[in-house]
Structure 1
Amino acid sequence: MAVRRLRLLAALALLLLPIRLPLKMEYQAASILPLPILPPLPPARTVERSLRVVSGTIARNTTLERALGASLDATNIHYLVLTARPLYDLARLSVGHPFDVSLDTDGLLAAFSYGIDELRTLRVKRNGDGLEAQVETRRYDTRAEAIAGRISSSLFGAVEEAGESDQLALDLAAIFEWDVDFNTELQPGDSFRVAVEKMYLEGRFARYGRILSAQLVRGSRTLRAVRFDGPRGPEYYTPGGVPLRKTFLRSPLKFSRISSRFTHARLHPILNVVRPHLGVDFAAPIGTPVRAAADGVVLAAGWSGGYGRVVRLRHIRGLETLYGHLSRIDVRRGQRVVQGDRIGAVGMTGLATGPHLDYRTIRNGTFVNPLTIQPPPPQPVPASARTAFEAERDHELALLEPAGAIVADDTPGPRR
């Protein structure tokens, strides 16, 4: 027992002795890892190259989670949505719009962008430990330019030869559609001239704006149109102040061809008997939109024997129109329609050998030729607006002259 106590006292004595380390060893231990020399920050382009950028466009029925799920986790996507929400709701994604997401080397979100529309881009970027968002907005550079062409085969071909796109041909045809059936009445040698706003982004053409004035020469006949804010809003008028918009369209289809005309004696292609054909057949692909020829009310919409699916409209002054062989009907009985409204689509229902529209016009219960009907005249510019109209007309007709591009915002004179 005494021996154990002696051993315990000896151990305690050793623990209480001071520990002495050489001074040089303490100093070396403190300086054994010298401070590293930090390299200078790389330039911005080097930083960008170190990021992983994922680009794409929004697909149909795609949410932000589906679009970014392979790159970001749910938490990062949630913070991205919350950051952007005061400026733009990322739940409202549009099909075909572009997006980019940039990730740093650790896979964290560095930046995100989404094209809201042609002029606005949502940008979200990392700022310290958080995210910040802004909407970048661009502006069009709008110029009024004169464009001219000569028709050899079609209006589309002439516009293309002038270096322009199909949209300009569609817009031009819409102005004169009450006076010209572009399916049948244009001839080689006819010509057009148009003053149109062309809109540029960063020096590149983006889209067409308003057509300010237009001219169409058909043989010895010249049609001119100027844009003016009339009682129904912006419309096109003749230089004399008469609206080009008539009570009836010349054709319920924008572009097609006539396959059979109004006649009292035609060999029926299916029944093989001679009988009247009291309408005009417009050949067009199945599904081509059919438009109401004038304001009116739907009298009938459904199946009617040899007409197949048919729509019948009642208009002013005892006039009615009928649209037969439709593949689909987009209106119902009793519905009011406005000129140009889609009422159905071209088909070949009923007695039909191919896809076409059987278009008929009835006046006071008697079928009349849709191509020769004289609709009621439109109302001209009121006397109270005549002075403003004439100033606008002179300004816009002057733009038709090939004097080069004019910046629309700097052009003197009244604008509508």
Structure 2
Amino acid sequence: MPFLIKNGTVFFEDKLQAADVLIDGDKIKAIAPNIQVPENVPTFDAAQQLVAPGLVDVHVHFRDPGFTYKETIATGSLAAAHGGFTTVCAMPNLDPVPNTPDLLKKQLQRNATEGHVHIHQYAPITKDLTSAELVDWQGMKAAGAFAFSNDGKGVQLAGTMYDAMAAAKSVDLPIVAHVEDNSLVRGGVMNAGPYADKLGLPGILAVSESSQVARDIELAQATGAHYHICHISTAESIRQVRAAKQAGINVSCEVSPHHLVLDDAMITKDDPMMKMNPPLRSFADRQACIEGLLDGTIDCVATDHAPHSVSEKSGSMKTAAFGITGSETAFPILYTAFVKTQILSLEQLLHLMSDRPADLFNLPAGRLLVGGPADIAIFDLTHEHVIAVKDFVSKGKNTPFINDTVLGWPRATFVSGQRVAFPSLGGQQ
């Protein structure tokens, strides 16, 4: 049955315009001003609200199977929809790791059956994420992998990464890298520097990231592979990516919302909610992330949604788990921090969270198109919202943004033409 979204500000054909959106089944039938429909057609009044393409997140952790006390495919995908995301890419740090084509097929089947959004699945680079034994690249692609990542673990041996990039090039799929040299982490729990010293907490050297970026850029040039860097966080890493792009090397990268709005100077106590990997870096690093976003060095925003249980994020940073949730807060945090302050235009932010990540990984998402999928997110840009624990449908409540006041809170999400309901929040948003 048709469904009309009316009176909204629609991001369509790269511009914001007053229009209605008519959904018919799982497709968009029309986008135009003042669409007339019979009285029995249900409508959603989006007056003073943004009607956007469903957002695309190329970096989430759903923890299922193996760690379902943290998150499940169902709760993680509901959290994504609650944040306005209709397409996500799930990391393979699961138990069992989807090491084989058969395991990957089973994971994809579960994602499709239990998920509330479109879920693309990463295959691991190496078996069990930490070995030097590569997976079956041809078999994984045939099984449905869209990219390969050991996220959560840096590939420690240059020889392993070289072979992986050569294999990725042979199947024309990206390598997506968590860049971290374990020998330079040294038991750290936050960024090395004066703020870690002040708190008496062990620091993680920034060069633990940038040294692997430098190595991998050389390997990407040698192999011709598409090399994508997860959650980039240091000024030196960004400088290297900028130079690589200027040299024509096939390198891309993402930045997470928390590395754009937080830095280590904001860690004023031993707070496990501020513990993430990579850690919150220096003010200068954060400014470099913003500059990289503005000049195109950084290709897109990705949340690195990493839910944990309450007990895992309690106590000291020395013992708490690394990670922050992000699916449900990413858009309002970035809209408030960057669009309302005129650092980014709304159009720029939408590009960074929709069509650019989709295009980077050749995903069929990220744009509103007549005849295209009815994957739509609606945001309230005018009313302030105080982020509260009760807002979350994710099992993970581990975020330092609780009690922050934001604009741009999600109002509704449509996936394949169906509005997603959030029972724990009292039904519809």
TM value normalised by structure 2: 0.22
Radius of gyration: which is bigger? 1
Relative contact order, higher structure (CA 8 A, sep 6+): 2
Higher helix share: 2
TM value normalised by structure 1: 0.23
